Amino acid sequence: MTAKTVGKLLTFQDYLSYDDETNNRYELVNGKLEAMNPPTFRHILIAKLIEQAFDQEISRLKLPWICLKESGIRTGWRKSRLTDISVIKANDIQGFIDKSAVSQIPPLLAVEIVSPESIKRDYRYKRSEYAALEIPEYWIVDPQENKVTVLLLDEGLYEETVFTEEEKIISVTFSKLNLTVKGILTVGNLET
């Protein structure tokens, strides 16, 4: 589907085949495409650090999981979100390996890194959509507020714990993870 043919609300299938012949990234929200701004270098470095830490734990524990950056999650009938990082079971994507990287099965863990234009989206919309999908663990990494919020699903709602400064981030998914808020948020300080 090309940009010229989009004048109506898109279905999820329309979204999966959408191509406007650019490198633009979109989320599908209530049948409409929402363009995603390119991330900052700090954002990319934070995502890389977290992805590497998760990959190390997956490898160390010999888990049949995969850590992905910027993959999609179907969050509703006409909704799909792009996560900064997600952890999924490898067999959940086995039959879809050559298709668009949008999982229709909720991940075990999702991470969003807040940017100035994504505050409401990450703290409010994605939080409610991810809870409705029953994603067990959701991290909101906020460089502007110097904190990491870890949300754990409990009876359909997220219970949150906020970590700051030198605090070690406590994860149910990765109980031996050794990351601090300061360690994550200073990764973008490239002074040599």
Task: Output the pTM of the full model.
Answer: 0.88
Domain extents in the chain: 39-188
pLDDT, tens digit, 9 for 90 and up, residues 29-73: 989 998 888 888 999 999 999 999 999 999 999 999 999 998 889
Q: What is the CATH number of domain 39-188?
A: 3.90.1570.10
Task: Annotate the chain with three-state secondary structure.
Answer: CCHHHCCCCCCHHHHHHCCCCCCCEEEEECCEEEEECCCCHHHHHHHHHHHHHHHHHHHHHCCCEEEEECCEEEEECCEEEECCEEEEEHHHCHHHCCCCCEECCCCCEEEEECCHHHHHHHHHHHHHHHHHHCCCEEEEEECCCCEEEEEEEECCEEEEEEEECCCECCCCCCCCCCCEHHHHHHHHCCCC
pLDDT, tens digit, 9 for 90 and up, residues 103-140: 888 999 999 999 998 999 999 999 999 999 999 999 99
Q: What percent of the chain has pLDDT over 90?
A: 62
